[in-house]
Structure 1
């Protein structure tokens, strides 16, 4: 087993993509210990899941929303609602991310789609580039907490947990994250004396609301459909994609065949990356199971602590450290199958654990050097990565505060899911 990990680490250090490092290290192990004939079977089984079908549909719907101008209308509506508060466009940035998160399910779609609009608007109003980029990246973490959520779909699939309950469990934490970020922006902006907008009139707000309403109703459709049992979370993803397509063609009339080609290209590319990684992790799972690694890790945790809170704290520290080195989706697929059984043995509800882990993973996408959202924002906003890495540091304070609350008070997460029982 030591040889397996050494091979994996060496391949990572020489710069090979993580998916290939996992497959190569696993195949070498299986050649040495037998079981190579099972390799193809394990790879196929890793993606043979009805639940995982939700991933390409949510990616598709998020790309549709960005390509058809829906993000512009959401930003305009958010501006009329909170642009007059101290911090102006900082609050607009956060509220727009909260609203858009109910449609895309992806932090990267949020950072990439809304990010360009938000950073340009803040730059024109005299906001510092570092602050503008940092708040754009920080607010994108709300996306995978608010339903729909691609990380929660994957967590639910590999941990055999209700995706519908995970979606419901993320709503209150998402709102808390947005609120805590807005509190920080308010006091920081007061200190910097940033410009605020004149308070929008009732008619201006109503007009912006009417323009954005068809898009804003998307999360309501998703939540109501899942909550009432009309469709499953996977079917909800397909419904969301169809609804986004209808909005682009018939409501906003901003759809074109040229855009569709790019939408399909982006969707297929992102889906392939996630699917390939999921398949590779399934192969690695065979190796870990054969060596009884999950059982050994569970025994280690249970030996040193039987306290659920200490376990959650330990897991969060571990995941934050991993998040500085490994891509978020890889961490979820690698670590969750091992940790969920331990959490359940300690009496931690897997829905609560899933939301806490998802929140932690979203903090990970802001953490250099593997902060994916920082790379996305740096690219779309033309802001140096080093500058973003420094500017993002204060935003960890409100996010860690919310993460701590979720650990201490499970009912914050479990209140809405319990209503589904």
Structure 2
């Protein structure tokens, strides 16, 4: 497999789009650029507006004791517009989460055909959602918001705007393709649609077998063909409802609105921007330099630094891609000079990516709290020690592998050097404490606290580190919007799919099966670990959480498992699958960041994955690791 597979999944196929754009006819290229501007500029401004609004709310409430009663309402209105313009920006930049392993191995000609099939499927989903989205605006037009007295139809108009822009973008991409792959892709797509339409009466008589056809067959086919995962989920739900039920399709749009409009999820774009900000201001480098001065001279010392740096930085940024991009370019050149093999480096980087999934303020923690009702504050508290336990497991393996290796000419840092790097790193090291203090002391909510971190990092970058590039702020805002939109639209369509599964009775059947497993809590936990490892290797953590979290967390409570402990085990199990080759796409993301061929890390990573699995078993067996520091009622 090639290293750009992960780039296509986690960051989209932007490089591929850039390569094709010059071959577009001038009119199509101009249309493509205009469409990109009319979504990316508003999306960036909306991110900036949300930062200002949320931080103003903190100041008004905590400093002036005059809360903005309309603040949350306005933030919610803007948030749906941010989600949809961000999703459209992600489509334009090729930043939607996709699985392109099979397409990339199909060769140039067939790869182009499969890519066209995926594009046609995306067009089909966007075309199907357009009319119900417009109808949903009419339904919401009679609702007026309580504080600002704004018509709610203006808020949900964001869905129509985003869908219309994405539909036009997809049409431009289709017109820009060569006639042969476009023709074959269109024929295949039309044949599939016609087949389903013809089979409509038969499908309505199959009952719950349709769940396999649409939520396994359609989702599996479209995901493997390279279609964005969010669109795959949405197309499956639309197909299921329209061909095998008589339910109105506006329900799909309302479920998507419900999933994307949870104000807790506003923390996602805020923490993504914070992650980009700490890298730009040099705060990440300061922390890494301090750790290197402490451990750089011992056997495997920089490997320990890598583990510690990922733990610290993950606690600030909440974005795994930002974590790896901040650490690898700083540490890897020196580690290579000291004789570390590239395969070992990318294997350890992948392992630390899985290890730090529960370190707050993880986006996955925020998502799991929003869809299951578990306290985000409790998840933030409970996530620290499990990540530390896995860090110890990785450190033990690093020590074992390095015990017979002579250190390569790395001098022990003097006390003066350590003290100097500590002083430089202190403002950066204080950021997690500032975030934690703001939440615990009630200065800011879990949604708002990221803006406290943003303002702190802004001041530190300008006054202390003096590494603030104003020219990068605009691209950072656009990147934040694109990544946020890609995540949020997955949550929206996955919420619709979860609703469809619940209405079909599947959730009751799954709950009954899991609840009556022999062995009680032990069997339930063991099956959950295996299931979420497999889900993590196929899907990103967020879609799996949104789909199965609301179904399984009540069962965990019923069998006596603390919901915070179960959350930690689920998240870490998905992380293990996400970063385990050959299917774990997080591994290919680590390869892309470190510019190391995936083949070099396949063998070294096995030991690290075993160490992580042992750590997960320990966390599953010892509830105190996840719940020991929680406040008891």
Query: 2:214 matched to which residue of 1?
Result: 4
Match of 2:332 among 119, 128, 153: 119
Deviation at 1:305, TM superposition (A): 2.9
**Equivalent residues in 2 for 1:220-369 (5 A)?**
220-305=433-518, 307-369=520-582
For 1:347 and 1:356, the matched residues in 2 are separated by 15
1:322-377: CA deviations, max 9, x gaps? 22222222222222122111111112111111111111122122112343332222
CA deviation after TM superposition for structure 1 residue 194, in Å: 4.5
Instruction: Pick from 296, 315, 326 the counterpart of residue 83 of structure 1.
Output: 296
Provide the residue aligned with 2:250 in structure 1.
37
CA contact (8 A) 2:353 2:579 kept: no
Deviations 1:112-152 (A, max 9, x none): 22122222221122211111111122122343322211100
CA contact (8 A) 1:110 1:143 kept: no
- The equivalent of 1:59 in structure 2 is 272
Q: Does 1:385 align with 2:622?
A: no
Match of 1:134 among 340, 344, 347: 347
After alignment, is 407-416 or 15-24 more displaced?
15-24
Q: TM-score, normalised by structure 1?
A: 0.95
The Cα RMSD (Å) is: 1.7
Q: Counterpart in 1 of 2:312?
A: 99
**1:233-265 deviation per Cα after TM superposition (whole angstroms, max 9, x unaligned):** 112122112222222222211112221122112
Structure 2 contact 517–523 (Cα < 8 Å) conserved: no
Q: Structure 1 residues 395, 254: closer, same or farther in 2, change over 3 A?
A: same
**Counterpart among 372, 396, 409 of residue 159 in structure 1:** 372
- Unmatched segments (≥5 aa) in structure 1: none
Equivalent residues in 2 for 1:141-220, closer than 5 Å: 141-195=354-408, 197-220=410-433
- Cα distance, 1:411 vs structure 2: 0.7
Q: Which residue is equivalent to 2:229?
A: 18
Q: Deviations over 1:76-117 (max 9, x none)?
A: 101012223321211111111122122112222211221222
> Could you tell me whether the CA contact under 8 Å between 2:280 and 2:469 is conserved in 1?
no
- Give the conservation status (yes or no) of the 8 Å contact 2:507–2:551: yes
Closer, same or farther: CA 241–370 of 1 in aligned 2, 3 Å: farther
The answer as to 2:585 corresponding to 1:372 is yes
TM-score normalised by the chain length of structure 2: 0.64
Contact conserved, 1:85 with 1:196, CA < 8 A, in 2? no
The 1:75/1:48 distance shift into structure 2, 3 A limit, reads same
- Work out the CA distance in 2 between the residues paired with 1:191 and 1:261: 49
CA contact (8 A) 2:534 2:574 kept: no
Aligned equivalents of 1:45, 1:271: Cα separation in 2: 16
| Structure-1 separation of matches of 2:358 and 2:536 | 17
Tell me the residue number matched to 1:47. Answer: 260
| C-alpha distance 356-335 of structure 1, shift in aligned 2 (>3 A) | same
Deviations 1:251-290 (A, max 9, x none): 2111122211221122111101101101111111221111
Larger Rg: 2
- Contact kept in structure 2, 1:164 and 1:232, CA below 8 Å: no
1:196, CA displacement in angstroms?
6.5
Partner in structure 1 of residue 283 of structure 2? 70
When residues 155 and 256 of structure 1 are mapped into structure 2, their CA distance, relative to the original with a 3 A threshold, is same
Determine the C-alpha separation between the residues in 2 that align with 1:373 and 1:118: 19
8 Å CA contact 2:315–2:360 kept in 1: the answer is: yes
User: Distance in 1 between the 2:591 and 2:623 partners?
Assistant: 35
Query: 2:382, 2:626 within 8 Å by CA — same for their partners in 1?
Result: yes
- Measure, in 1, the Cα distance between the counterparts of 2:301 and 2:558: 47
- Please give the secondary structure, in 2, of the residue aligned with 1:41: helix
Counterpart secondary structure, 1:233:
coil
